[in-house]
């Protein structure tokens, strides 16, 4: 597996990957921002030139925020997300950012649910840190976001 930094040339690949990873894709304006803003970094994990997952990382305050991390369902559990998290952590260290955060919809933080990611994030050193009300609009309604943080508390 190889991690590459995506560019505007990868837009169609990223959009397709995002739609296969999530039921609520990144809007067009989000991709434009992610790929054109020099402060934002989009990484892709590829195997034999086939994209398996991606992340969008951007400065937020004194830290870095993973705005999106997606892995194709077929390739979950083989270390793709871990590689993307480690890449984001390397970016945090290289930039001197205080902490690395990721915000997850509350409905994906229900232990025992097949879509729960909270246990995985905790196993990677993240702690639930804060809640942001009405952070996500999915499935026709608003959901709170749980912010997980790795670094100084």
Confidence check: pLDDT of 90 > 90: yes
Q: Are 108 and 70 in contact (CB under 8 A)?
A: no
pLDDT at 11: 95
Residue 107 Cα distances to 68, 134, 143, angstroms: 16, 12, 7
pLDDT at 28: 86
63 DSSP β-pair partners:
60
Residue that wins the pLDDT comparison between 17 and 114: 17
| Domain residue ranges of the chain, discontinuous segments joined by + | 1-56+68-97, 99-153
pLDDT at 52: 98
Model pTM? 0.92
| Distance from C-alpha of 133 to C-alpha of 146, rounded to nearest angstrom | 9
Domain at 1-56+68-97, CATH class? alpha beta
| Distance from C-alpha of 22 to C-alpha of 20, rounded to nearest angstrom | 6
Residue that wins the pLDDT comparison between 136 and 64: 64
Confidence check: pLDDT of 153 > 60: no
């Amino acid at each position: 597996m190889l991690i590459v930094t995506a560019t505007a040339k990868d837009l169609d690949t990223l959009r397709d990957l995002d739609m296969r990873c999530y039921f609520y894709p990144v809007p067009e304006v989000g991709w434009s921002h992610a790929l054109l803003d020099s402060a934002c970094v989009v990484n892709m994990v590829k195997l034999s030139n086939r994209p398996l997952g991606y992340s969008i990382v951007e400065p937020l305050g004194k830290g870095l925020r993973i705005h999106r991390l997606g892995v194709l369902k077929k390739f979950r559990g083989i270390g793709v997300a871990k590689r993307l998290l480690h890449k984001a952590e390397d970016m945090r260290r290289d930039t001197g950012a205080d902490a690395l955060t990721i915000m997850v919809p509350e409905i994906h933080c229900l232990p025992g649910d097949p879509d729960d990611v909270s246990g995985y994030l905790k196993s990677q050193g993240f702690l639930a840190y804060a809640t942001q009300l009405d952070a996500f609009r999915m499935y026709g309604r608003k959901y709170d976001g749980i912010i997980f943080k790795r670094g100084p508390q």
